[in-house]
Amino acid sequence: MSRTLPHRTGALSLGGRTLVMGVVNVTPDSFSDGGLHAAPRDAVAGALRMAAEGADILDIGGESTRPGHVAVAAEDEWARVAPVFDGLARGRAALPPLSIDTWKSTVARRAMAAGASIVNDVWGFQRDPDIASVVAETGAAAILMHNRERADPDLDIVDDILRFLDRSARLAVAAGVPQDRIVLDPGIGFGKTPEQSFQALASLRRLKALGFPVLLGASRKHFIGSLFDPPPPPLERGPGTIAAHVHGALQGADIVRAHDVAAHVQALSVLDAIRRAA
């Protein structure tokens, strides 16, 4: 089913092909790249490279959300990402929509003023009560992710995801965010055992049945490495990442969030071409 995702500066077409969100972590302690883009100049260069490789969205974040991460104050988080937004705004290259990866309303508001169009909240509007209003007031789109403080192996994780994200969507709508600006994310690897991440992947159609577009972010996650002894480090989990994301696309995911943009654009272009030919 074709639809559009309106955001602050335009709209993205969904349904015709699987979109790729490029990950720009402006953090010194990112699990996935070891701080590759911690310096603003490197982050801007990485974002421009991803745009040239075909990224449909660039997701810029200044706080690591890996297990055991150290919390970052809003001012420090903004100090990390502000030069990146500024550097991209000063460039002449055409850019896809920019997303701010934050759960903090103050960071989200400043990012909107600096050029962001989408808020990617890893707590699904359930940690900072003001962030939904920021999204509504600025006309941004929202990506609402399932999360938990810690994994509970005895939990029915799919049921928990559905209940959590249903509540997140209701909070968004109650704050004035139009339903067509909401995207749901099952939060692969967040507050989940590896087995639960696989269960979430296997049940994407149930999430899709809530009626919203779905974003899937399995890139370089721990659950991929858990299948092997010894587990491959994050930078060597590319093939497993693409397998998870291709599965997700086949199950209805509209957007995948990835570190390796070029590889995903190629893989998903082939998949989409096969589906069109069927």
- Paired with 120 in beta bridges are 101, 143
Task: Take residue 145 and report the two structure tokens written for it.
Answer: 């992710």
Distance of alpha carbon 235 from alpha carbon 39, whole angstroms: 19
Which of 69, 58, 62, 94 is CA-nearest to residue 257?
A: 58
Q: Which position among 90, 221, 237, 275 bears the catalytic label?
A: 221
Task: Take residue 275 and report the two structure tokens written for it.
Answer: 């589906």
Whether 148 is a known active-site residue: answer: no
Angle formed at CA 105 by CA 101 and CA 185, multiple of 5 degrees: 40
Task: Take residue 233 and report the two structure tokens written for it.
Answer: 């480090």
Distance of alpha carbon 199 from alpha carbon 105, whole angstroms: 31
120 in Cβ contact with 101 (< 8 Å)? yes
Whether 257 is a known active-site residue: answer: yes
Q: Which position among 104, 257, 275, 276 bears the catalytic label?
A: 257
First-last CA distance in the chain: 16
140 in Cβ contact with 112 (< 8 Å)? yes
- Paired with 22 in beta bridges are 58, 258
Catalytic residue positions, numbered: 221, 257
